[in-house]
Structure 1
Amino acid sequence: MTHVTPLANRRRLVIDHHDRTREFAALWLRERSPDDETRDPRTGQRLIEAAELPLDLSIETAEVHDGRLNMRFSDGHHTTFDLAALFDDPVSDPPQRLWDAASAPRPEVDFATALEEDTALSEMLEALHRHGFVIVSGVPIETDGMQPLIDRIGPLRRTNWGGIADVKSVADAYDLTMTQRGLEPHTDNPYRDPIPGYIWLHCLTNAAEGGDSTLADGFMAARLLRERDPASYDCLTRITPGFRYRDGDTHLESEGPLIELDSHGEPVRVRYSNRTERVPALPAEQLEAFYAARRAFYRLITGEELTLHLKLDPGQMLIMDNYRLLHGRSAFQLAGGVRHLRQGYVDRDSTASRRRVLRQRLANAQPHGEPA
C-alpha cells in the first residue's frame, strides 16, 4: 500500500511506499517534474528556470494510481512521477573496495580484448574504480602503445611535458622522476588545477636492477588514521598546504588538504607530494599539529601494512587512480639494463563517463530477466 500525506501548509509531502517512508519538498518535486514541459524529452535537461519558482509553492493534489504519483502544484502545473524511480535514486557508482597489503587485489585485463570488446573495457573500468588500479597486459611495446586504449575512453590529458612522456633516467633531469633515485609514495601533480585523475604507466623495458613500483591505498590510510589518531585525521582534513612546480618555462601552483572530504564527510581525494609541498607559515601551534599529523599519515603510507610491491614487465601497463592511490618506486641501477617507461594522464570526468555509459549500455543489452 502507498499513502501520501501533505504537511507544512502542503509545502511538503510524506510518502509511505512498500514499508519505506520519505519526505519531499514541494519545490524539489516541482523542479524535478519528469514531464516534457519541465524537461527536454531528448536531453533530460531542465527547460524551466528553477530559481524563478515561487518559494511558497504548495501541493494542491497528490494521488497514487498503479504505482504512479499524480500531482498538481499551486502554480497550476500537473505532472506524474513513477514511484519506483522516485524512491530508488540511481546510484552513479558502486562502492569502492579499500585494501591493505594483505588483502590487495590484482585486477588484470588484456589490452587487445579491452580494445575490441565493450564487456572487457567495462570490466577494466569497473575494476579501476573499485580497487583504484588495474594492470593491463599485452600492450604493444611501442612509444605510444597505450594510445589506442586511451582513445576508447577519453582524450589524453596534455601537460607542459606534452602527451605521453618518458619516465627514464636522463642527464640534466628536470624532475626527480627522470633520475635513478627511489621515489617516496606520492600523488602526481597536486600543483595542477584540475589534478590529473588517472595515471597510465606503460613499461617498454625494465631490465635495470631495482625500480620496483609501490602502491598504497590512500583511502585505507585515511580510514586507519581516523580510527587510530582522530586528531591527526581532523588536522589533515582542515589545514591546506600549497604545492608548486617551477622550471624555465612553467610555473604551476595549487593548494588543498592532504585528505579532502566530500559533502558526506568521507575522503574523496588524497594529496601527498613531499617534493612540491609548501606549507604556509601558520601559527606555531597549528604547524606543530600539522607536522605530527603528516608524520602519522606518512608512516601509514610507507609502512609494510599498506604497501603493495610489484614490478612491471615489458608490455604491461599500470593504470592508477591519482585521487586515491599513492605510488612510488625503489632506486634502480642501470648497470643491469635499461628501465624505460612511458606515462600519460586521462582525466576523471571522461573516465567516469565512459564507465557509466558502458554499464548502462551493457545492462540494456541483457535479455530480460538475466543479470548483467
Structure 2
Amino acid sequence: MTHVTSLAKNRRLVIDHHGRTRAFAALWLRERSPDAETLDPRTGQRLIEAAELPLTLAIESADVRDGELSLRFSDGHCGLFALKALFDDAPSDPPQRLWAAASAPRPEADFAAAVEDDAALLAMLEALHRDGFVLVSGVPTEEHGMQPLIDRIGPLRRTNWGGIADVKSVANAYDLTMTQRGLEPHTDNPYRDPIPGYIWLHCLTNAADGGDSTLADGFMAARLLRERDPAAYDCLTRVTPGFHYQDDTTHLEGEGPLIELDSQGEPVRVRYSNRTERVPALPPEELEAYYAARTAFYRLITGEELTLHLKLDPGQMLIMDNYRLLHGRSAFQLAGGVRHLRQGYVDRDSTASRRRVLRRQATPAPTAGEPA
C-alpha cells in the first residue's frame, strides 16, 4: 500500500510506500521530473533552469496508480514518477571491504585476459574498488608493458616525471623513491591537484636484496583510530596540513586533512607523506594535539596489525588505490642484483567510469513481467 500526504502548504510530499516513509520537497521533485521537457531523454541532463523555478512552487495534486506517482505542480507542469525509483537510493558502487593484515585478501588478475575480455577486466576493476589493490600477473617485461591495459581503462596521467617512469636507484636522485632507502607507508603526490587516483607499479626485475613492498588499508586505520582514540580521529579530520614538492623545474603545493570525510561523515581519502608534509604554525596547543593524533595514526599504518608484505616478481604489477592505501618498501641493496620497476598513474574518474559502464553492460535488462 502507498499513502501520500501533503505538508507545508503543499510544498512537501510525504510518501509511505510498503512501510518505508520519505519526505520530498516539491522543488526537488519538479527539477527531477522524468519527462522530455525537463530531462534530456538521451543524456539525462536537465533542460530547465532549476534556479528559475519559483521558490513557492507547490504540488496541486498527487495520485498513485500501478506503482507510479502522478503529480501536478503549481507552475502547470505534470510529472509521472516511478515509486521504485524514488525509493531506490542505493549507491552506484558496491561497498568496499576493509582489511587488516590477518584478513587481507589477495585479489589477482591476468594481464592478457583483462586486455582481451570485458568480463575479466570488470572482475579486476571490481576487485580494485572492493579491496583497494589488485595483483596483475603476466605483464610483458618491457618498459611500456602496462600500457595496453591502461588503454582499456583511461588515459595515462602525465606528470612532471613524464608518463610511465622508472623506479630504481639513480645518482643525484630527484626523489627518495629513486634511492635504495626504505620508504615509510605513504600516499603518493598529495601536493598535486588532483591527486593521482591509482598507482600502477610494474616489476621488470627484482633481484636485489630487500625492496619488499608493504601495503596498509588507510580506511581500516581510520576506522580503528575512530574506535580507539576518537579525539585523535577528530583532529586528523579537521587540521589541514600542506604538502610541498620542488625541484629545478617544478613547484607543487597542496593541502588537505590526513583523513578526509565525505558528505556522510565517512573517510573518502587519506593523505600521509612524511617527506612532503608541511604543517602550518598553528597555536602550540593545536599542534600538540595534531602531533599526538598523527603519531597514533602512524603507529597504526606501520604496525604489523595492518601491514601486508609483498614482493613483486618480474611480470607482476600492483595496482593500488592512492586515496585509500598506504604503500611503502623495505630498503634494498644492489649488490644482490638489479631492482627495476616502472610506475604510472591513472585517475579515478576514468577508472570508476569504466567499471560502472562494464557493470551496466554485464547486467541483463529485465524481461517483460519483471519489476524494473
TM-score (norm 1): 0.98
- In structure 1, what is the equivalent of residue 234 of structure 2? 234
Offset, 1:328: 0.1
Question: Are the structure 2 counterparts of residues 365 and 77 from structure 1 closer, same or farther at C-alpha, using a change threshold of 3 Å?
Answer: closer
- In structure 1, what is the equivalent of residue 295 of structure 2? 295
Q: Does the alignment pair 1:253 with 2:242?
A: no
Question: Are the structure 2 counterparts of residues 305 and 336 from structure 1 closer, same or farther at C-alpha, using a change threshold of 3 Å?
Answer: same
For the residues of structure 1 that align with 2:94 and 2:291, how far apart are their CA atoms? 35
For the residues of structure 1 that align with 2:184 and 2:135, how far apart are their CA atoms? 21
Question: Are the structure 2 counterparts of residues 369 and 64 from structure 1 closer, same or farther at C-alpha, using a change threshold of 3 Å?
Answer: closer
For the residues of structure 2 that align with 1:282 and 1:257, how far apart are their CA atoms? 14
SS of residue in 2 equivalent to 1:364: coil
For the residues of structure 2 that align with 1:155 and 1:188, how far apart are their CA atoms? 18
Offset, 1:172: 0.9
For the residues of structure 2 that align with 1:327 and 1:180, how far apart are their CA atoms? 16
SS of residue in 1 equivalent to 2:226: helix
Query: Quick one: which amino acid aligns to residue 316 of structure 1?
Result: Q
* 99-108 or 87-96, larger mean C-alpha shift: 87-96
Query: Quick one: which amino acid aligns to residue 148 of structure 2?
Result: P
- In structure 2, what is the equivalent of residue 34 of structure 1? 34
Matches within 5 A, 1:144-159: 144-159=144-159
- In structure 2, what is the equivalent of residue 172 of structure 1? 172
- In structure 1, what is the equivalent of residue 193 of structure 2? 193
Can you give the 5+ residue segments of structure 1 that lack an aligned partner in the other structure?
Answer: none
- In structure 2, what is the equivalent of residue 340 of structure 1? 340
Offset, 1:367: 8.2
Question: Are the structure 2 counterparts of residues 358 and 192 from structure 1 closer, same or farther at C-alpha, using a change threshold of 3 Å?
Answer: same
| Identical pairs, percent | 85
- In structure 1, what is the equivalent of residue 137 of structure 2? 137
Report the count of equivalent residues. 370
- In structure 2, what is the equivalent of residue 285 of structure 1? 285
SS of residue in 2 equivalent to 1:335: helix
- In structure 1, what is the equivalent of residue 329 of structure 2? 329
Offset, 1:153: 0.4
- In structure 2, what is the equivalent of residue 318 of structure 1? 318
For the residues of structure 1 that align with 2:83 and 2:180, how far apart are their CA atoms? 61
For the residues of structure 1 that align with 2:110 and 2:14, how far apart are their CA atoms? 50
Question: Are the structure 2 counterparts of residues 238 and 284 from structure 1 closer, same or farther at C-alpha, using a change threshold of 3 Å?
Answer: same
Offset, 1:365: 6.7
Offset, 1:326: 0.2
Matches within 5 A, 1:66-81: 66-81=66-81
Query: Quick one: which amino acid aligns to residue 267 of structure 1?
Result: P
Offset, 1:369: 11
Offset, 1:20: 1.1
Offset, 1:364: 2.9
For the residues of structure 1 that align with 2:179 and 2:112, how far apart are their CA atoms? 32
Question: Are the structure 2 counterparts of residues 284 and 360 from structure 1 closer, same or farther at C-alpha, using a change threshold of 3 Å?
Answer: same
Question: Are the structure 2 counterparts of residues 369 and 63 from structure 1 closer, same or farther at C-alpha, using a change threshold of 3 Å?
Answer: closer
Can you give the 5+ residue segments of structure 2 that lack an aligned partner in the other structure?
Answer: none
Q: Considering only aligned residues, what root-mean-square deviation do their CA atoms show, in Å?
A: 1.3
SS of residue in 2 equivalent to 1:306: coil
For the residues of structure 2 that align with 1:50 and 1:67, how far apart are their CA atoms? 27
Query: Quick one: which amino acid aligns to residue 169 of structure 1?
Result: S
Matches within 5 A, 1:200-279: 200-279=200-279
SS of residue in 1 equivalent to 2:363: helix
Offset, 1:167: 0.2
Offset, 1:89: 2.5
TM-score (norm 2): 0.98
Query: Quick one: which amino acid aligns to residue 85 of structure 2?
Result: A
Offset, 1:170: 0.7
SS of residue in 1 equivalent to 2:101: coil
- In structure 2, what is the equivalent of residue 45 of structure 1? 45
For the residues of structure 2 that align with 1:319 and 1:74, how far apart are their CA atoms? 53
* 87-96 or 327-336, larger mean C-alpha shift: 87-96
Query: Quick one: which amino acid aligns to residue 184 of structure 1?
Result: E
SS of residue in 2 equivalent to 1:102: helix
